[in-house]
A and B are shown apart, each in its own frame.
Chain A
Amino acid sequence: MTVRIKFAKYGNLKFLSHLDVLRFFQKAVRRAGIDVTYSGGFHPHQIMSFAAPLGLGQTSEAEYFDMELNSMKSEAQVLRDLDAQMPDGFKIIDVCLLPETGPNTKKESVMALVTASDYLVLRKDGYENGLTNEELYSKLIEFLAQKEIKTIKTTKTGDHEIDLRPLIYDFKTGSDLPEVSDLAEKYENGFKVWLFLSAGSENHIRPELVFKAFYDYMGLEFNAYEYQVHRLESYTGDRENLIPLYKLHRK
């Protein structure tokens, strides 16, 4: 059987690399006494697959991985046992048993499911660019009101010019935004922007790319360390019908 785990990574543990996170969960699952399935061979490992890795320095309350189990009492029990092993900086949010796949059906890959993610972008204290929050918000609204936003995206295959605008599904600024998540970092300056962006293997747009284009638009130098990115959720489906990953197999 396969369970899908949703977890948060926040606070100081934002400095863990994706590889550190994989290693952490292998050990946490063993500590929790979960009846996990091991691969064969002399170096057995737990069978886990992770969704889109988070960039170093970013926080999230919607990380996902799928894990093979031999048995379990209930989803709630797995959630409790695993969450009891989480240090400050990790939190298990949801456990969902996936429907059995037939012998001839390919298992769904949590990585391939993701088509969109939404993020909070916060401004760290101690940085100055001469603009107030309100001024930045109105510039951002102006920037996103454009019909087309040409920018350069760097990928493994090189630099490509893309149009960002259709890949930005939605956004909100400042007071238009409801209460910020408890798990996101807190800053005194109060700046906050919500971005809903295309994600996944086809058109993966990172919030930094949007902000870089925004700063280019304003004619200012962009410093990536100035902003804190926090992932709120990852979604699957097409743009008109996006479903949060954890709800996909919920009745």
Chain B
Amino acid sequence: MQKLALSDEILLNIEKPVRYIGGEVNCVMKERSEVDVRFCMCFPDVYEIGMSHLGIQILYDMFNSFDGVWCERVYSPWPDLDKIMRERHIPLFALESQDPIKNFDFLGITIQYEMCYTNILQILDLSGIPLYAKDRTEEDPIVIGGGPCTYNAEPIADFFDFFYIGEGETVYLDIINLYRENRKNGGTRRDFLEKVAEVEGMYVPMFYDAEYNEDQTLKSFTPNNPHAKKTIRKQVEMKLSETYYPDAPVVPYLQVVQDKVTLEIQRGCIRGCRFCQAGMLYRPIRERDVEFLKKQAVKMINNTGHEEITLSSLSSSDYKALQELVYFLIDKYKDKGVNISLPSLRIDAFALDVMSKVQDIRKSSVTFAPEAGSQRLRDVINKGLSEHSILNGAGDAFKAGWNKVKLYFMLGQPTETYDDIEQIAVLADKIAREYYEDVPKEQRHGKCEITVSTSFFVPKPFTPFQWVGMNTSEQFTEKAHFLSGKVREQLNQKSIRYHWHDSDTTILEGIFARGDRRLCKVVYDAYKKGCIFDAWTDYFKPELWNEVLKENNVDLDFYIFRERKEVELFPWDFIDAGITKEFLLREYKNGKAEKVTPNCRKACARCGAFEFHGGVCLEPRGAEQ
């Protein structure tokens, strides 16, 4: 039995000690004497969130399949333990071996959202690793960043030795081997980073200098080291049915957010919604082979004993063999206590049939994400969902026995008017009318429940809206209040509920999403003042953040509110994500002209992803939608 890093007394004095003891079913243990590279994979949030992330499960499995490499895990210690570790100078440790992170060769941090930035510093600090990459010595682990936020990691660039841009399945083994070779040759940390910089997709921030214009915009971004590439092209795994996928993911003892088998059926999206970063970054869409998925599902359920399996993708309905896969799973597992969940499903006859088999119609709801209330604004954002199909889908669901509908929208998208916002309330009312006017009274189950939720739009890099000015907190709040009032004016207002969230973190997300290197100091100062777990309402400290923004003279107008010029050089322009800036700009203009761009299966929009020679780009077009 592994000796634990924390004493019984500490573990019995904190919430959920099981977060810190490792030893879960399927976690990988290796002999220290039989490995020469120690890698620690980190999700900088609490265990229950981090353990729900598929990417880490895939990479954990991959690293541990490499000879001589032992990959372990670490998550953010919750504030109760954080305090004790600081008071007693207990170094942060990996779950499997319970060894200090400081003694590892690598610390790989996945960066999924901006509000975890201070937690990254917490991890480094508690590990005893200097926060700034420039201050690290030969004794410190190499700190790597990965995940969606690395497509503009400038606001945290100073804290990382390098970023791995793109999908992790491709070149990590090469990097490990470079590390071994460098160590054998007695090379330094810097020697290693110079070799890494030559690998496609690897970005070593300290090898680049940024210069700024008088108006604060970026003037130039250039390598200061001959080994560093001028542009960095993302890594893409084109053979998704032949690459790493865990047969036996780690099964947490604790109830985690995604307490189920996650089957990633495809990567990428054909839809091209103009606000959506994932839909742009992961192009081209690549499907996994259905036979591969069936085999994988069976193995994973057998090896974990999970009671639920979920199909994961940005838009499940676009997976061509979806029906075959879903009916296979239902037939195989219906009587074995394994439930099937299907997020991101377009509501049609097939979806309703599947849902009626796997859910309790009386308790569940059907979900639509129109994102905008009016057809005009849906055309601006290229959300190919028409009012007709929403009303039909909802009407069919009502006739089949459902009476709950959830609707998701965004406020603050470009060109939005108060009329567009009012249309959200009107659409909700029309759905309610489908229920009261088309379902005979004797077939109804009480009132229908329409839930409208809105979030605030944050423009993201590598989207057609990367030039757009973001709304202010006041505008957001006003829009939400306006919508709330409009909902109350509807005929069926008693059947409509409206939810919206505060805009505090939205502004920060906006600043960091399109920020530059000068913001590293802001993240650092916020952390030093005591900000951690910013994604958690109970721990988010807006007053401290406001202080830090003020002290650092962060100009919100510059970073988020202004409309950016077409010619402006962006801090992320040196990254080649496969899609060209010309395409994004063209799409931005199409958006402003309310012009819809067909999805990838209907017509090629010449986004640039064809360069990867795979996925939808090589499918015959016109045959399917």
List A residues at the B interface (Cβ < 8 Å).
Answer: 11-13, 15-17, 19-20, 23-24, 26-31, 33, 36, 38, 41-46, 56-57, 85, 87-89, 124, 225, 228
Question: A26 to B307, Cβ gap below 8 A?
Answer: yes
The 5 closest A-B pairs by CB, nearest first: A27-B305, A30-B305, A31-B305, A11-B1, A15-B17
* Number of chain B residues whose Cβ lies closer than 8 Å to a Cβ of chain A: 35
Question: A87 to B25, Cβ gap below 8 A?
Answer: yes
Question: B8 to A225, Cβ gap below 8 A?
Answer: yes
Q: Tell me, in angstroms, the Cα distance from A16 to B254 when the chains sit together.
A: 8
Residues in A neighbouring B358, C-beta threshold 8 A = 42
A-B contact pairs, 20 of them (CB 8 A): A11-B1, A12-B22, A13-B23, A15-B12, A15-B17, A15-B21, A20-B254, A23-B255, A26-B305, A26-B307, A27-B304, A31-B25, A38-B335, A45-B337, A85-B25, A85-B305, A87-B25, A89-B1, A225-B12, A228-B8
Q: Tell me, in angstroms, the Cα distance from A85 to B25 when the chains sit together.
A: 8
- In whole Å, how far is B306's beta carbon from the nearest beta carbon of chain A? 6
Question: A29 to B23, Cβ gap below 8 A?
Answer: no
Q: Tell me, in angstroms, the Cα distance from A87 to B250 when the chains sit together.
A: 12
Question: A15 to B305, Cβ gap below 8 A?
Answer: no
Question: B253 to A20, Cβ gap below 8 A?
Answer: yes
Question: B12 to A57, Cβ gap below 8 A?
Answer: yes
Question: B337 to A31, Cβ gap below 8 A?
Answer: no
Given contacts A87-B23, A87-B25, contact A15 B359 (CB under 8 A): no
Question: A12 to B305, Cβ gap below 8 A?
Answer: no
Given contacts A31-B302, A56-B12, A57-B8, contact A15 B18 (CB under 8 A): yes
Residues in A neighbouring B8, C-beta threshold 8 A = 57, 124, 225, 228
Cβ < 8 Å to A, chain B residues 226-269: 251, 253-255
Residues in A neighbouring B360, C-beta threshold 8 A = 41-42
Q: Tell me, in angstroms, the Cα distance from A230 to B22 when the chains sit together.
A: 22
Question: A16 to B25, Cβ gap below 8 A?
Answer: no
Cβ < 8 Å to A, chain B residues 298-356: 301-307, 335-339
Residues in A neighbouring B24, C-beta threshold 8 A = 87
Cβ < 8 Å to A, chain B residues 257-304: 301-304
Question: B305 to A29, Cβ gap below 8 A?
Answer: yes
Residues in B neighbouring A13, C-beta threshold 8 A = 21, 23, 253
Cβ < 8 Å to A, chain B residues 79-131: none
- In whole Å, how far is A189's beta carbon from the nearest beta carbon of chain B? 14
Question: B302 to A12, Cβ gap below 8 A?
Answer: no
- In whole Å, how far is A223's beta carbon from the nearest beta carbon of chain B? 9
Residues in B neighbouring A31, C-beta threshold 8 A = 25, 302-305
B625 close to chain A: CB less than 8 A: no
- In whole Å, how far is B274's beta carbon from the nearest beta carbon of chain A? 37
B4 close to chain A: CB less than 8 A: yes
Question: A225 to B21, Cβ gap below 8 A?
Answer: no
B178 close to chain A: CB less than 8 A: no
Q: Name the residue on A nearest B253 (C-beta).
A: A20
Residues in A neighbouring B335, C-beta threshold 8 A = 38
Indicate which residue in A30, A89, A225 contacts B337 across the interface (CB closer than 8 Å): A30
Question: A46 to B337, Cβ gap below 8 A?
Answer: yes
Residues in B neighbouring A12, C-beta threshold 8 A = 1-2, 4, 21-23
Given contacts A15-B21, A23-B255, A87-B24, contact A30 B307 (CB under 8 A): yes
Q: Which of B21, B305, B338: most chain A Cβ within 10 A?
A: B305
Q: Tell me, in angstroms, the Cα distance from A27 to B307 when the chains sit together.
A: 7
Q: Tell me, in angstroms, the Cα distance from A38 to B333 when the chains sit together.
A: 12
Question: A27 to B23, Cβ gap below 8 A?
Answer: no
Q: Name the residue on A nearest B301 (C-beta).
A: A30
- In whole Å, how far is B10's beta carbon from the nearest beta carbon of chain A? 9
Q: Tell me, in angstroms, the Cα distance from A31 to B298 when the chains sit together.
A: 11
Instruction: With A12-B21, A20-B254 given, name 7 new contacts (CB 8 A).
Output: A13-B21, A20-B253, A27-B305, A31-B303, A85-B25, A85-B305, A124-B8
Q: Tell me, in angstroms, the Cα distance from A85 to B26 when the chains sit together.
A: 10
B175 close to chain A: CB less than 8 A: no
Q: Tell me, in angstroms, the Cα distance from A215 to B12 when the chains sit together.
A: 21
- In whole Å, how far is B249's beta carbon from the nearest beta carbon of chain A? 12
Q: Tell me, in angstroms, the Cα distance from A142 to B256 when the chains sit together.
A: 49
Question: A44 to B302, Cβ gap below 8 A?
Answer: no
Given contacts A15-B11, A20-B253, A27-B304, contact A38 B23 (CB under 8 A): no
Residues in B neighbouring A228, C-beta threshold 8 A = 8
Q: Name the residue on A nearest B255 (C-beta).
A: A23
B419 close to chain A: CB less than 8 A: no
Q: Tell me, in angstroms, the Cα distance from A30 to B303 when the chains sit together.
A: 9
Residues in B neighbouring A33, C-beta threshold 8 A = 302
Residues in A neighbouring B4, C-beta threshold 8 A = 12
Q: Tell me, in angstroms, the Cα distance from A87 to B26 when the chains sit together.
A: 9
B566 close to chain A: CB less than 8 A: no
- In whole Å, how far is A144's beta carbon from the nearest beta carbon of chain B? 26
Q: Tell me, in angstroms, the Cα distance from A88 to B24 when the chains sit together.
A: 9
Residues in A neighbouring B251, C-beta threshold 8 A = 27
Question: A88 to B305, Cβ gap below 8 A?
Answer: no
Question: A225 to B23, Cβ gap below 8 A?
Answer: no
Q: Tell me, in angstroms, the Cα distance from A36 to B12 when the chains sit together.
A: 34
Residues in A neighbouring B12, C-beta threshold 8 A = 15, 56-57, 225
Question: B1 to A16, Cβ gap below 8 A?
Answer: no
- In whole Å, how far is B300's beta carbon from the nearest beta carbon of chain A? 11
- In whole Å, how far is A1's beta carbon from the nearest beta carbon of chain B? 18
Q: Tell me, in angstroms, the Cα distance from A129 to B517 when the chains sit together.
A: 56
- In whole Å, how far is B212's beta carbon from the nearest beta carbon of chain A? 52
Q: Name the residue on A nearest B364 (C-beta).
A: A42
Q: Which of B1, B16, B338: most chain A Cβ within 10 A?
A: B1
Question: B302 to A225, Cβ gap below 8 A?
Answer: no
